[in-house]
Amino acid sequence: MGFFSKSKKKEGWLTINLLADGICVGAVRRVSEAKPVVELAQFYPLQPSDSPEALDKLARELRAGSFRCGTLLNGGEYQLLAVEAPNVPREELKTAVRWRLKDMLDFHVDDAAIDVLEIPVDKSAVQRANTMFVVAARNSVVKARQELFGAAKFRLRVIDIPELAQRNISALLEPQGRGLAMLSFGADGGLLTVTYNAELYLARHIDVTLAQLLEPDSDKQQVCFEKIALELQRSMDHFDRQFHFISVSKLLLAPSGAPGLHEYLASNLYLPVEAMELSDVFDLANTPELAEVEQQRRYFLTLGAALRYEESSL
């Protein structure tokens, strides 16, 4: 199974996200000419969340066999790298990329499960420097996840990553012909992405966790705000130099509940900054509990992963 595996089972995805404090489950159904519908959003408080017995019970309760199922890797379980695309035939691409990764990973490349995601180039450029994203995880991590879900009778079709889950949401909110920056926060820190034409062009992690953002000490919170603004400015300056053919319209803030963050960034960035809600993307008629900001930030990446399109296998 690749990270971006292809399957044709049933319309819509069921995503099972193993978090530090429990299991977050989301199912989304795409609708033509309308917002995707959230069919299911449930949280099961559990420690540890990777209990085979708990997952087995969950699979039976949700009748998971009728869904295409996916899960997400957490921070520290994978690396996402941007590398120059090797000039080789498509069938040799992964082998060539693996060779380039040997000095870039924090573990031996022979122990890596890898997959690739192309970054489209400027079609009007005379010379095109092709770059691609490579996601790499230890074989042991991928195997353990597969075995965990297999033992619980989940038919796991894909192992996804947060960057692509956020990409899926961003792609639905892009202004026509312009790029969109999006920033979210979770237990692993901040995640900045830039998408254009539904493609991921930039992914950066910011070393500020959601817990730090919600710190009641105003001085500590101010330090976090300053760090975030600096990282955003540096990242967007880099993006402008590398992808000058993309005009980024604005920065969208995913639900966080952090008081003052929107106002601070709006006052300190050259990009317009707007706050988003899940209702901007999804039809929440079946899940009114997602109106609460605490629930929105909990389900943000889970529902983003459940939005996925089929990717082309490499």
Tokens 């691409």, residue? Answer: 93
Read off the pLDDT of each residue in 74-102 and give the average, rounded to a whole number.
87
Q: Quickly name the fold that domain 173-276 has.
A: Nucleotidyltransferase; domain 5 (3.30.420)
Burial class (CB in 10 A: 0-12, 13-18, 19+), 119: middle
Q: Which of 155, 196, 169, 197 is nearest to 5 (CA)?
A: 155
Q: Name the average pLDDT for the chain.
A: 90
Are 179 and 242 in contact, with CB atoms under 8 Å apart? no
pTM value is: 0.92
Task: Give residue 312's pLDDT.
Answer: 37
Q: What is the pLDDT of residue 7?
A: 39
* Rounded Cα–Cα distance for residues 219 and 291 (Å): 30
> What pLDDT is recorded for position 268?
97
Residue 202's nearest CA partner among 249, 239, 254 is 239
**Secondary structure in 3-state letters for the chain:** CCCCCCCCCCCCEEEEEEECCEEEEEEEECCCCCCCEEEEEEEEECCCCCCHHHHHHHHHHHCHHHCEEEEECCCCCCEEEEEECCCCCHHHHHHHHHHHHHHCCCCCHHHEEEEEEEECCCCCCCCCCCEEEEEEEEHHHHHHHHHHHHHCCCCEEEEECHHHHHHHHHHHHCCCCCEEEEEEEECCEEEEEEEECCEEEEEEEECCCHHHHCCCCHHHHHHHHHHHHHHHHHHHHHHHHHCCCCCEEEEEECCCCCCCHHHHHHHHCCCCEEECCHHHCCECCCCHHHHCHHHHHHHHHHHHHHCCCCCCCC
Q: Backbone phi, then psi, for 107, in 5-degree steps?
A: -150, 170
Does the pLDDT value for residue 313 go beyond 60?
A: no
| pLDDT tens-place string over residues 195-204 | 999 999 999 9
Q: Categorize the per-residue pLDDT at 5 as very low, low, confident or very high, splitting at 50, 70 and 90.
A: very low
Cα gap 120→106, rounded to integer Å: 27
Task: Write the CATH number of the domain with boundaries 79-139.
Answer: 3.30.1490.300
pLDDT band, residue 208 (cuts 50/70/90): very high
Cα 131–137–139 angle (5° rounding)? 135
**Whole-angstrom Cα distance, residue 46 to residue 55?**
10
Q: Is the pLDDT of residue 206 over 80?
A: yes
Length of the chain: 314
Asked if residue 193 lies in contact with residue 163, where contact means CB atoms within 8 angstroms, the answer is yes
pLDDT one-digit tens code per residue, 248-281:
999 999 999 999 999 999 999 999 999 999 999 9
On whether the CB atoms of residues 69 and 149 are closer than 8 A, the answer is yes
Tens digit of each residue's pLDDT (9 = 90 or more) over 152-203: 888 899 999 999 999 999 999 999 999 999 999 999 999 999 999 999 999 9
Q: Would the pLDDT of 6 be above 80? A: no
Query: Encoding tokens for residue 208?
Result: 């500020």
- Average pLDDT, stretch 49-77? 88
Residue 127, pLDDT > 70, answer no
